[in-house]
């Protein structure tokens, strides 16, 4: 990549940024003060398109270097896949012959969709438009209600392999391999993203190496199995890569590809919009603060059209979500281009009006009200969960639980980021003290990374985003100074040396606890028998018995959140109340588990605001301690933590 030329724009002016040539990892970068096509009549604050373009003179040497770097990243990819599969397959709960209980909660929910696509031809896919099993008695359009983009490829590939008589493993083993292979593609995205941002092949390689050894790159995949984020995060990182390219070049191709990858990520995982939101806020802050104008017309139009055309995004009203409202307002401010003060007023006015309109649409706000309320109360309470559950509204109380949604401690930042955190701080310190003017895309990505820090603090799960961002920022030291290469190299070696192939503890019920219940339901109930169980266990029973379920854990569905609240109020009320709830939704069997009796801040009793002493006639206590006194439920099978009750049609 010799003779690379980068052109940038001074904030709020047409003057092209200039610096002297520098060397870094075999790359020469020069910023020139004369740009072909520059005219002094261009609007104030608008970057010259030719001047903003990152030009790389492709030579045989640069091609060979790129191929070598890709070979290194491919080796990292193979190692990363091996790390994850080794941890999964060495777990004492893993069974390559029996899939029952290997996937739990959301993972089991997704697994049953993968199994559907693996066993049904395309002509049967219309059945998912009126699915009566996933949320009985409702008829659910799975295409519009759930993001099933991840399950289609794995199911189709497995079915195709079977039709070709390939020696395939059991479906659940195939799904795990698919999950690990796809999720590790993030390494290639990180490589290309860092390479584009820092204009350095070396920065790309080291960013991939740093990220591969971080817990967020493999931990949740290993512990939970088959999460939507495993499929969506590689798409997000490639979307960020093409977004950076679009910001640098403003080419139509990059804008379209950026929009397509963002749409694919949004259609794969609903939380993608909470990654796009910090990116849009960062873009807005850079624009309003530095006066840099970015006219990405094709990006905005394609993204807006996609949120209307794609069924699941249209059904969730993503086209008028707060994230998209900010995008529209920013695009209008840029289009008007009337100077920084006028642009700020235009942006503020439009974003306020659009957000009010968004709040008036039940789907736009209501489907994610639990997420918004969680963030609001985390900030209000400084991340400390109140002892009294009544101090939190239902939506925030529902999502604020231990594990993925707890507040991060200082130790968690070290555990999840390791040396990438200090490296990112060092890279930022160098950039801000060196006196050099950064490119617009670099400024935006830096602000984006900084905005991810409070997001990760509020919700531990968000370290899966901050992890790749700090790896990219930290690798920027490679492109700046020779000592930076050595510092990053030593950090990467240290992180790899500390890796362990030991299995991670899985916190859900073990497969041995599920198998007796699943076997009993398969042998002793009709195929249309409706099962009522907890939100985490219900998808397991659906996936392995095919029996319709009343509850599940896909909380971006407001109806299921309201139903769960109703269930908790009933089970901690009287037997009559719980019986009315069971009959209202057509339950034939209730699978009780001991989790209903637990207390503490992460318990179901906390969510129900029932931490105090329960009434002696409370349904939960009767199920736990005195099932023989129940009038409307008959105990028919017990195994470990689970007890199966038949719901009687008459006392």
Question: What letter does residue 618 receive in the DSSP assignment?
Answer: B
Cα angle, residue 324 at apex, residues 14 and 380 outer, rounded to 5°: 105
344 and 435 assigned to the same domain: yes
The whole-number pLDDT of residue 359 equals 78
Task: Give the pLDDT band (50/70/90) at residue 49.
Answer: very low
The whole-number pLDDT of residue 363 equals 56
Q: What is the percentage of the chain residues whose pLDDT exceeds 70?
A: 89
Cis link prior to 500 (omega < 30° from 0)? no
What's the rounded mean pLDDT across residues 476-495? 91
561, two tokens: 């959140």
Task: Give the pLDDT band (50/70/90) at residue 19.
Answer: very low
C-alpha to C-alpha distance for 560 and 20, rounded to whole angstroms: 60
491 and 640 assigned to the same domain: no
Residue 119 is assigned to a structural domain of this protein: no
Encode pLDDT of 231-243 as tens digits: 999 999 999 999 9
Residue 502 is assigned to a structural domain of this protein: no
On the question of pLDDT at 533 being above 70, the answer is: yes
Residue 504 is assigned to a structural domain of this protein: no
Encode pLDDT of 298-338 as tens digits: 999 999 999 999 998 998 889 988 899 999 999 988 888 76
473 and 520 assigned to the same domain: no
Domain interval for residue 228: 180-497
What's the rounded mean pLDDT across residues 608-625? 94
462 and 527 assigned to the same domain: no
pTM over 0.75: yes
517 and 488 assigned to the same domain: no
The whole-number pLDDT of residue 367 equals 75
Lowest mean pLDDT among 366-375, 607-616, 626-635: 366-375
Question: Which is it for the CA torsion 397, 398, 401, 403, positive or negative?
Answer: negative
Do 229 and 269 form a contact (C-beta atoms < 8 A)? yes
Task: Give the pLDDT band (50/70/90) at residue 575.
Answer: very high
Q: Which residues of 616-635 are buried (b: 16+ CB within 10 A; e: fewer)?
A: eebbbbbbbeeeeebebbee
Encode pLDDT of 112-142 as tens digits: 999 999 999 999 999 999 999 999 999 999 9
The whole-number pLDDT of residue 21 equals 40
271 and 354 assigned to the same domain: yes
Where is mean pLDDT largest: 150-159, 278-287, 344-353? 150-159
Task: Give the pLDDT band (50/70/90) at residue 442.
Answer: very high
Question: What letter does residue 250 receive in the DSSP assignment?
Answer: -
Query: Which of 462, 497, 532 corresponds to the end of one domain?
Result: 497
CATH number of the domain to which 547 belongs: 3.40.50.12610
Residue 91 is assigned to a structural domain of this protein: no
Residue 337 is assigned to a structural domain of this protein: yes
The whole-number pLDDT of residue 38 equals 33
259 and 351 assigned to the same domain: yes
Half-sphere exposure of 491 (CA within 13 A, CB side): 28
On the question of pLDDT at 145 being above 80, the answer is: yes
What's the rounded mean pLDDT across residues 17-29? 38
565 and 490 assigned to the same domain: no
The whole-number pLDDT of residue 304 equals 96
444 and 563 assigned to the same domain: no
Residue 161 is assigned to a structural domain of this protein: no
Task: Give the pLDDT band (50/70/90) at residue 23.
Answer: very low
Domain total in the chain: 2
Residue 546 is assigned to a structural domain of this protein: yes
Q: What is the percentage of the chain residues whose pLDDT exceeds 90?
A: 74
Task: Give the pLDDT band (50/70/90) at residue 35.
Answer: very low
On the question of pLDDT at 54 being above 70, the answer is: no
The whole-number pLDDT of residue 12 equals 36
518 and 476 assigned to the same domain: no
Return mean pLDDT, the chain. Answer: 88
370 and 247 assigned to the same domain: yes
The whole-number pLDDT of residue 307 equals 95
Pick the closest to residue 452 from 385, 418, 460 (CA basis). Answer: 460
Residue 626 is assigned to a structural domain of this protein: yes
Q: Residue 387, Cβ neighbours under 10 Å: how many? A: 9
Do 590 and 633 form a contact (C-beta atoms < 8 A)? yes
The whole-number pLDDT of residue 365 equals 54
On the question of pLDDT at 521 being above 50, the answer is: yes
191 and 294 assigned to the same domain: yes
The whole-number pLDDT of residue 17 equals 40
Cis link prior to 36 (omega < 30° from 0)? no
């Amino acid at each position: 990549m010799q003779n690379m030329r980068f052109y940038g724009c001074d904030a709020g002016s047409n003057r092209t940024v200039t610096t002297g040539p520098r060397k870094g990892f075999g790359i020469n970068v020069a910023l020139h003060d004369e740009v072909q096509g520059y005219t002094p009549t261009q609007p104030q604050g608008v970057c010259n398109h030719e001047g903003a373009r990152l030009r790389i003179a492709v030579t045989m040497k640069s091609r060979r270097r790129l191929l070598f770097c890709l070979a290194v990243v491919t080796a990292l990819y193979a190692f990363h896949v091996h790390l994850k599969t080794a941890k999964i397959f060495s777990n004492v709960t893993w069974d390559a012959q029996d899939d029952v209980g290997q996937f739990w909660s959301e993972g089991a929910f997704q697994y049953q969709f993968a199994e559907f696509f693996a066993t049904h031809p395309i002509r049967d896919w219309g059945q998912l438009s009126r699915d009566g099993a996933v949320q009985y008695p409702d008829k659910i359009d799975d295409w519009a209600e759930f993001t099933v983009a991840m399950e289609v490829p794995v199911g189709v590939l497995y079915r195709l392999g079977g039709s070709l008589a390939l020696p395939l493993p059991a479906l659940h083993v195939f799904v795990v391999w698919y999950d690990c292979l796809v999720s590790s593609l993030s390494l290639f995205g990180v490589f290309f993203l860092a390479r584009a941002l820092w204009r350095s092949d070396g920065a790309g390689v080291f960013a991939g190496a740093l990220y591969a050894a971080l817990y967020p790159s493999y931990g949740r995949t290993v512990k939970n199995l088959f999460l939507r984020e495993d499929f969506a995060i590689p798409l997000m990182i490639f979307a960020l890569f093409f977004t950076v390219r679009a910001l640098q070049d403003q080419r139509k191709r990059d804008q379209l590809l950026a929009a397509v990858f963002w749409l694919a990520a949004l259609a794969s995982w609903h939380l993608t919009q909470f990654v796009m939101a910090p990116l849009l806020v960062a873009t807005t802050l850079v624009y309003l603060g530095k006066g840099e104008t970015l006219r990405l017309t094709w990006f905005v139009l394609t993204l807006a059209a996609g949120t209307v055309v794609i069924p699941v995004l249209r059904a969730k009203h993503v086209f008028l979500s707060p994230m998209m409202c900010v995008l529209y307002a920013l695009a209008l401010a840029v289009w008007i281009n009337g100077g920084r003060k006028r642009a700020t007023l235009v942006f503020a006015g439009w974003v306020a009006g659009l957000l009010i309109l968004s709040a008036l649409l039940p789907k736009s706000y209501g489907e994610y009200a639990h997420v918004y309320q969680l963030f609001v109360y985390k900030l209000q309470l400084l991340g400390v969960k109140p002892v009294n559950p009544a101090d939190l509204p239902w939506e925030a109380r529902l999502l604020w639980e231990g594990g993925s949604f707890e507040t991060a401690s200082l130790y968690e930042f070290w555990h999840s980021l390791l040396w990438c955190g200090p490296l990112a701080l060092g890279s930022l310190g160098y950039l801000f003290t060196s006196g050099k003017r950064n490119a617009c895309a670099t400024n935006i990505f830096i602000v984006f990374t900084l905005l991810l820090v409070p997001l990760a603090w509020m919700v531990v799960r968000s370290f899966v985003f901050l992890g790749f961002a700090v790896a990219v920022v930290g690798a920027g030291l490679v492109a700046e100074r020779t000592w930076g290469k050595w510092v990053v190299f030593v950090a990467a070696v240290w992180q790899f040396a500390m890796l362990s192939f030991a299995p991670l503890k899985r916190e859900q019920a073990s497969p041995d606890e599920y198998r007796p219940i699943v076997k009993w339901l398969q042998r002793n109930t009709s195929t249309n028998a409706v099962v009522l169980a907890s939100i985490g266990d219900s998808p397991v029973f659906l996936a392995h018995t095919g029996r319709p379920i009343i509850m599940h854990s896909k909380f971006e569905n407001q109806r299921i959140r309201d139903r769960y609240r109703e269930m908790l109020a009933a089970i901690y009320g009287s037997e009559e109340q719980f019986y009315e709830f069971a009959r209202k939704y057509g339950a034939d069997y209730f699978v009780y588990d001991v989790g209903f009796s637990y207390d503490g801040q992460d318990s179901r009793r906390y969510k129900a605001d029932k931490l105090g002493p329960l009434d002696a006639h409370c349904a939960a206590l009767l199920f736990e301690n005195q099932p023989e006194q129940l009038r409307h439920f008959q105990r028919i099978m017990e195994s470990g933590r689970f007890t199966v009750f038949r719901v009687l049609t008459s006392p």
